[in-house]
Structure 1
Amino acid sequence: MNSVKKIAMLMFIALPSVVYAGEAQVKWHDFNDYRDARPSNQTKGSYHKQIAKSIDEHFAKLSEQLPKNYTLKIEVTDLDLAGDVRYGGVNEIRVVEPIHFPRIKFNYVLSNESEVISSEDNVSLKDMSFMDKIKRGREEAFHYEKRLLTEWFDEQVLTKLD
């Protein structure tokens, strides 16, 4: 092995590593009280479970970027999904138009084992230009809401760790 490779290997081994394994805990209120969490062609109960599962998994994925022993607690106080449910003959369908942009309101606490790093009540997110942005990746459920949460996480949560 040449000396450059040896030095690079030693530097890699000597660097302290940060373990990323934060956790997210999401608390939901009654979906019937949210501004718009209406299903189209699904029962309310199963649709609400689908929303909760999808957003919970998204927060879990985001929190993997947090250092070990960090917890992000979210309490969703209001939800307005992108689009609006309309009657289309026999079925109801969710029509996504620019006028029906996604909105989410929540409280959050970011903490580690010993202290609260950041917290805020009544965070209100909305993306009025959600349809003007390029979609990257595959089509997924609640794409616009997840993108809104990801942007908030990157700008507000990750910056608190520096």
Structure 2
Amino acid sequence: MDNLYWKGEIMKKLLLAALALSLSSTAVFAGEAKVSFAKLDNFTDIKAGHEQKERFRERLTEEFTSVFAGFAAKLPEGYQLEIDITDIDLAGDIRPGMTIHYDQIRWMKEIDWPRIQFTYALKNAQQEVVASGKEELRDMDYLRRVRIPSGKTSFEFEEKMLQDWFKHQVVSGAFPSQDAKTLTATK
């Protein structure tokens, strides 16, 4: 009985070690993202439709941070992408009086395109800035574009703009990437 107990304990430790190694090996090949937001009250349009204002803002910051973290995961080991989001104008508009079951709805029209402003700095493993800039992304044709929502965020139009920006950075050579060959092939 003691022999079976020790074999079971050894197996548990081996499985935990293998799991820890597999988890750490995926993180070793990824960069890191640090995302900050300017004062949200000054943003052009981050109005909540059917959610409490504070909960909506919390979800918005979490989801945008997640998008940039996904980009950083495609960077080589040791790289750090620092993003400071200074303004967001979400696609569509919340119109007074436009409600369904007492919830305001976001009305999508061609004239209410998404826009996001941010500054970025990409640092290599030695903490040297290898790329930096100020961006103002906008998609005036957002309702006509083919898009496949990732399911990672509820801000699909804004996420698509950011994906296109990151892809352009990699293809142009401004950002190194583990999938540069894949992105170049789909150019």
**8 A contact 2:79–2:123 mirrored in 1:** yes
**2:167 counterpart of 1:154:** yes
Match of 1:61 among 54, 66, 70: 70
User: Unaligned regions of 5+ residues in structure 1, if any?
Assistant: 1-18
**2:120 counterpart of 1:108:** yes
Q: CA separation of 1:138/1:25 partners in 2, compared to 1, >3 Å: closer, same or farther?
A: closer
User: Unaligned regions of 5+ residues in structure 2, if any?
Assistant: 1-27, 177-187
1:122-161 → structure 2 map (5 Å cutoff):
123-137=135-149, 140-157=153-170, 159-161=173-175
The two structures have a TM-score, normalised by structure 2, of 0.71
Q: Over aligned residues, Cα RMSD in angstroms? A: 1.7
CA–CA separation in structure 1 for the residues paired with 2:144 and 2:81: 30
How many residue pairs get aligned? The number is: 143
The 3-state SS of whatever aligns with 1:130 is: coil
> Displaced runs of 4+ in structure 1, greater than 3 A?
137-140
Q: 1:88 aligns to what?
A: 98
Q: CA separation of 1:38/1:124 partners in 2, compared to 1, >3 Å: closer, same or farther?
A: same
**2:44 counterpart of 1:35:** yes
CA–CA separation in structure 2 for the residues paired with 1:58 and 1:35: 20
Larger radius of gyration, structure 1 or 2? 2
Match of 2:80 among 63, 71, 76: 71
After superposition, what is the alpha-carbon deviation per residue over 1:14-55, rounded to whole angstroms, capped at 9, x for unaligned?
A: xxxxx6301111001121110000101111111000100111
In the TM superposition, what is the alpha-carbon distance from 1:137 to its structure 2 partner? 4.3
Q: CA separation of 1:149/1:138 partners in 2, compared to 1, >3 Å: closer, same or farther?
A: closer
The two structures have a TM-score, normalised by structure 1, of 0.82
Q: 1:6 aligns to what?
A: none
